[in-house]
Amino acid sequence: MTDLSTLPRFPRVEAKTHPDGSGELTINGTSHPIATADAADARAEMTRRVADLATKIGRPIRVATHEPEGSWPIVVHPDGAVEPDTDAPAPAAPSRRGRAAAQPAAGARPGRRRAEAADSAAGAARTAEKPEVEHQVVGTAPEVPPAAKQPSSGVEAGPVSTVPEPGLAEGQTRAAAALPALAPEAPAARDLRGGPAPADAPAPVLPSWQPTVTRAPAAEAPVSLPTVNDLLSGRPEADPGPADLGWRGQTNRLSLGLVRLRPGPAEAAHRAALTEVRRSLSGPKTVVVVNPKGGAHKTTTTLLLAATFGQYRGGYTLAWDNNETRGTLGWRAQPAGHARTATDLLADLDRFATATRGRVGDLDHYVRPQTAAHFDVLASDEDAAAAATIDADAFARLHATLTRFYRVLIVDTGNNMRAPNWGAAIDAADQLVIISTIREDTAATAAWLVDGLRARGQDAKVAQAVTLLAAPDSRPAEQGLRARLHDHFGQLTRTVLDVPYDPALAAGAPVDIDQLHAGTREAWLKAAAVVAEGL
């Protein structure tokens, strides 16, 4: 249960529900209409929206709910859980005259009212002895024998009416029947003396609000005043604005502002992918692209993911060829004014040993800026006569330095799963990307890779991995094989996505993302967004 005594009463949220499924959610005076199929759906939708707001501000939120049958306060948690707000101001207690006018339940014995009144008086006496009494939900209690009566304190207690309304269970009100949709669990039954109810006692009926509780005079807790975060959290969602793409966007432009069509489904999905790619990260993140078979599109995938992150997030993105000897990432990138590689950076790594030595601009001597796509490339050794290799220690040292200068690192890997630097990259990965063409041999190698990773204890990283299936050529993919691959990797990894064939990638020349087909760029934006979800 939440400690409600310290829970702020801001933002101020009210939820009104009508039987026809309409409703109104009011946050700090701003109204948000709700239209659903029925009242239950309206409650569920308002609970979801309040839970989203609770997630943004990082704490539960008090909500005053109103329905035709009555009103009651609740607390909604960020995970959607709901509990009664027992610390909210209670409704006014009925007058002595109103209580005296209440009639006993049908079939009650003549002495029952007196026993209940005596027990209630005893409870009031016990209340006066304590500084504060917790709220209780009172259920139907068995008759109290005369011997259990306590001296009266002069407080009357009327009986609990159990005359049912049409269509409701005995002792249940319409407000009580509606409340379980917002508060799934009712408190345990208690008898009128405060002890546990007998095993055969009927289940308590949860009222529409918590009963009034008598409290001893005490200093009121200080009111928690709203902060700027509370104010900002109550802002309505930003208007998505008019459409920019497709026929809707063209219509908006041609109308010179007279028409403002909203984005269609495709543009809405595009904007959602952009938001995911651009979202804040908790620190530098490393994405490792793997498949031990040559020609599986690892290098192409590394370049296109880096280009997508670079274009839509800005700079500070690196594509890194982590091949123990020689890879082709440097050849597929746009050329630079030098031919230095990872081995040259490793030899000069002491230059960047501390935060006060070496600057991001000094890295331009070792990386190859891809100016149009706003990312850099760190090539592997391209000297055919060299004997140097990158081992696990070299990878770790390079990685520790590069993460000081780049937010996102996309790492291309070689074909040798037993190479020390290959294993070091897997250990450093925040997200694995398993790439395969839709071919039997390439897909089988990817499946063998997954089996090997799981055998090495990397089950969690495999389960979080993204699988990309690339069309090997312009011919339509064999649908039977494609379906098998989606089924196989869909059970092992988080997501399986298809990326299309593009003639601009087929020649093996340096990749120019602006030359790609619009559908190809959109597919890689979606792939980058799914990768970003795992960071």
Q: Which domain holds residue 498?
A: 273-533
Does any domain span residue 208?
no
Phi, psi of 237 (to 5 degrees): -60, 145
Tokens, residue 222: 């200080």
pLDDT tens sequence across 161-178: 444 444 444 444 444 444
pLDDT at position 72 over 70: yes
- Cα separation, 507 vs 256, in Å, equals 43
| Residue 498 lies inside a defined structural domain of this protein | yes
In the 8-state DSSP scheme, what is residue 429?
-
Is the pLDDT confidence value at 384 over 80? no
Residue 355 lies in a domain: yes
Q: SS3 of 500, please?
A: coil
Tell me whether residue 406 is in a domain: yes
Region 212-231: mean pLDDT is 65
**Amino acid type, 308:** T
pLDDT band (50, 70, 90) for residue 218 = low
Q: How many domains does one find in the chain?
A: 1
Token pair, residue 164, equals: 């049912």
pLDDT over 50 (residue 133): no
* Lowest-confidence region among 253-267, 408-422, 520-534: 253-267
Closest CA to 155 of 109, 92, 229, 93: 93
Q: What is the pLDDT of residue 132?
A: 41
Please indicate, yes or no, if residue 199 is contained in any of the structural domains.
Answer: no
**pLDDT attached to residue 431:** 96
CATH (domain of 437): 3.40.50.300
Cβ atoms within 10 Å of 130's Cβ, excluding its own: 10
Among 71-75, 120-124, 231-235, 380-384, the minimum mean pLDDT is found in: 120-124
Instruction: Establish if 391 belongs to a structural domain.
Output: yes
175-179: long-range contacts at Cβ-Cβ below 8 A with a sequence spacing of 24 or more? 175/67, 175/69, 175/70, 175/72, 175/207, 175/208, 175/209, 176/205, 176/206, 176/207, 176/208, 178/39, 178/43, 178/67, 178/69, 178/208, 179/72, 179/206, 179/207, 179/208
Contact between 298 and 412 under an 8 Å Cβ cutoff? The reply is yes
Does the pLDDT of residue 114 top 80, yes or no?
no
Higher pLDDT, 90 or 364: 364
Enter the tokens of residue 271. 């904007």
Per-residue pLDDT reduced to its tens digit, 471-485: 988 888 788 999 999
| Both structure tokens of 426 | 């897997």
Q: Determine the straight-line distance between the first and last CA of the chain, rounded to whole angstroms.
A: 32
Query: Each residue of 336-363: pLDDT tens digit?
Result: 888 889 988 998 888 887 766 778 888 8
Mean pLDDT calculated for residue range 379-387: 72
Q: Say if 221 falls within a structural domain.
A: no
* CA 428 – CA 102 distance, rounded (Å): 72
* 52 inside domain: no
